[in-house]
Structure 1
Amino acid sequence: MIKLNDLTLKYDNSIVLKNINITFQKNEIVGLIGKSGSGKTTLLKALFDFDIVKSGKVTYNSTLINNKVSKKEILEYKNKISYIQDGINLIENLDFFKNVQLFYKKYKNWFYKNFKIFTKKQKEEIFDLCSYFELTDLIFTPINKLSTGQKQRFSLIINLINNTEILLGDEITSNLDYINSQKVYEYLQELKKEKIIILSIHNLNDAIKYTDKIIAIKNHEIKSIYLKENYNIKELMDYFD
């Protein structure tokens, strides 16, 4: 469980968000909505970039997390997080498989990590995810030869393979077509029982269909928190460009 208490977030001495009080827990997908520049991305980053937290508390399972705790504690916490951006964070001149070898966090031991070796089970998980997202034929194709949508799916797969407890997504379907967007959200539905999942979402229909809770941001604050059974489409539309 992650709790934010009386959080104020700043960039360059300008307040981006204030009076943030919210709890995130497993078994729910939380959607962040708000017009461009409202602070959705900032709220996601506040969960791991404590330089932007000017006041208030971030706690994880009742443990205070900030820049004052030990580097070991911060590293252990950050290793529980995957942050997926709308941009593509892959090395362009390498193929997907080599990218996975570089960014993978769950190697069996130091020997496997040093030589970038996957166990049989890990390799199966990688290929199963590629099959689900219909990318098997492109695993050994250089990233710079792929379409934007293919790159984004591969970028997403790397974060999913790392199997972290906390999954943060910043408009993760922005470069995907309808079918692949639905595949992403349906896969996340299968994961939510074991993870804290928080997504900034740019599509109202996706927010309504796939989230369990919606946090609506406006004028530097959380204006409303909606539970799925109380979603009001007319009100929610006001938070989209």
Structure 2
Amino acid sequence: MSHITLVRHGQANTEARDETSYDRLSDLGTQQARWLGEHIARSGEHFPRLYCGSLTRQRQTAAAISLANHAEPVIDPRFDEMEFFTLAALYRDQHNVPIPEDREDFADHLPRLFAAWQAGEIEGPPESFDRFETRVRDGIEDIGKGDGRAMVVTSAGVIGMAMRLTLGLDLIGFARACLAVENTSLSRWLPLRGSLALTQFNALPHLEDAERQFARTHL
């Protein structure tokens, strides 16, 4: 059966406060990806099509998953993450809204940031909200037209946007979907008659054992 599996990258540099510093896996993030690769190998699932965003943390995750006898990943920047740190800094400087320091603050901040971004109230963003939405839609739709199972190593914002496009989420729902996505989690869509149906969200089969519960991370 043909389907698309989106994988969030492993835990990145959680101490970072800018795009460049954030864009590398932590040691735990590398281990999360290795465990995912081992799980896929044991399951016998085969992905004849592999894709990956162009960011360092995404490419490092794909390399650590290390799927032997599968296709080489195609690097596709349509699956790059939005530049959250850049957007948040612009929002802070232009609207005096502090950048959140913990996950609870993110829950209030992210919908406000998305609303300002979508409305064009943030001057000089790296890309517009509409451009981000369009490139994610185009990437998912193009892969959905192909044959065979596909895996895409990407980021939480892209997975959240795929949820928004599939389920018609508003900005609050979109933000909550982004915040829910855990590192190296699996979310799956099934192409059906020209559209996509969500069949799995945020699964972590490789981290379900009790001794690996510590390795579940959002940030």
Query: TM-score per shorter chain, which class?
Result: 0.3 to 0.5
Q: Which has the larger radius of gyration?
A: 1
- TM-score, with normalisation over the residues of structure 1? 0.30
Report the structure, 1 or 2, having the larger helix content. 2
Higher strand proportion (structure 1 or 2):
1
